[in-house]
């Protein structure tokens, strides 16, 4: 038979709850006393409520010196013949670990959502500027338009914020395929849009 135990860690007091045959209780208490694990006048009692993990154990006691928590493992471990599979759970540490994991998950989600929103806003602003340029220069062929779809995609992916970065990050075939007048007149406005959106909080 397997005898489970559970350590409920509190800010001031910690409890050890466990299942074991009645004839083992005195021996376990003696071991804990010899190892200075019990507080003054500490003793093992029959449980009157479920432990923090929701399970009802037969016995419980207050414990101290949780720095030596590994010693409790040895009491309930195989070599002492009381338990084949210890089930120690530190509820405080477990809750902290879950909260840290949740915070990390939320932060990752926030970053992903923020990046997606920036890309959408950037694309919307560039398309709006493209339409204005097309209205002013209706005779420019679409394949020469400074903000043709493939150029918009390249700008959103690389996000250049000045002309040096534009020349470095945007492939030459895209740059050289632009209408010269449109590139001269609107490149600064295009880069300003990217810079503004990239620097939004």
Please report, for the domain that includes residue 9, its CATH number: 3.30.780
Last residue of a domain, which of 46, 72, 89?
89
Residues with Cβ < 8 Å from 152, sequence gap 6 or more? 123, 126, 127, 130
Do 118 and 85 lie in one domain? The reply is no
Last residue of a domain, which of 47, 72, 89?
89
Reference 58, options 44, 71, 72; nearest CA is 44
Do 85 and 139 lie in one domain? The reply is no
Per-residue pLDDT of the chain (201 residues; tens, 9 = 90+): 456 888 887 666 688 888 888 888 888 888 888 877 777 667 899 988 888 888 889 998 888 755 455 667 777 764 444 444 444 445 556 677 777 777 777 777 766 776 778 888 899 999 999 999 999 999 999 999 999 999 999 999 999 999 999 999 999 999 999 999 999 999 999 999 999 988 875
Burial of 155 (0-12, 13-18, 19+ CB in 10 A): buried
Burial of 76 (0-12, 13-18, 19+ CB in 10 A): buried
Burial of 88 (0-12, 13-18, 19+ CB in 10 A): middle
Give how many domains the chain has, as a whole number: 2
Within-domain flag for 103: no
Q: Check which CATH number belongs to the domain holding 147 and give it.
A: 1.10.150
**Structural domain of 68:** 5-89
- Please state, as a whole number, how many other Cβ atoms lie within 10 Å of the Cβ of residue 160: 20
Task: Give the 3-state DSSP-derived string for 163-181, with helices as H, strands as E and coil as C.
Answer: HHHHHHHCCHHHHHCCCHH
Within-domain flag for 12: yes
Within-domain flag for 193: yes
Within-domain flag for 55: yes
Do 78 and 131 lie in one domain? The reply is no
Place of tokens 């918009």: 152
């Amino acid at each position: 038979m397997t005898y489970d135990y559970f350590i409920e860690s509190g800010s001031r007091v910690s409890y050890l709850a466990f299942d074991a045959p009645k004839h083992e209780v005195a021996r376990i208490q003696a071991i804990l006393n010899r190892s200075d694990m019990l507080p003054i006048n500490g003793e093992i009692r029959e449980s009157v409520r479920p432990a923090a993990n929701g399970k009802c154990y037969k016995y419980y006691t207050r414990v101290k010196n949780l720095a030596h928590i590994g010693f409790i493992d040895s009491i309930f471990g195989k070599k002492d013949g009381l338990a084949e599979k210890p089930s120690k759970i530190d509820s405080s540490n477990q809750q902290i670990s879950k909260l840290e994991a949740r915070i990390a998950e939320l932060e990752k989600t926030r970053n992903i959502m923020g990046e997606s929103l920036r890309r959408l806003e950037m694309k919307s602003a560039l398309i709006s500027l493209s339409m204005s340029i097309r209205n002013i220069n209706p005779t420019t062929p679409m394949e020469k338009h400074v903000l043709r779809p493939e150029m918009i995609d390249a700008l959103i992916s690389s996000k250049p914020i000045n002309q040096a970065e534009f020349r470095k990050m945007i492939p030459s075939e895209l740059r050289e395929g632009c209408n010269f007048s449109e590139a001269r007149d609107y490149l600064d406005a295009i880069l300003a849009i990217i810079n503004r959106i990239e620097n939004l909080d």
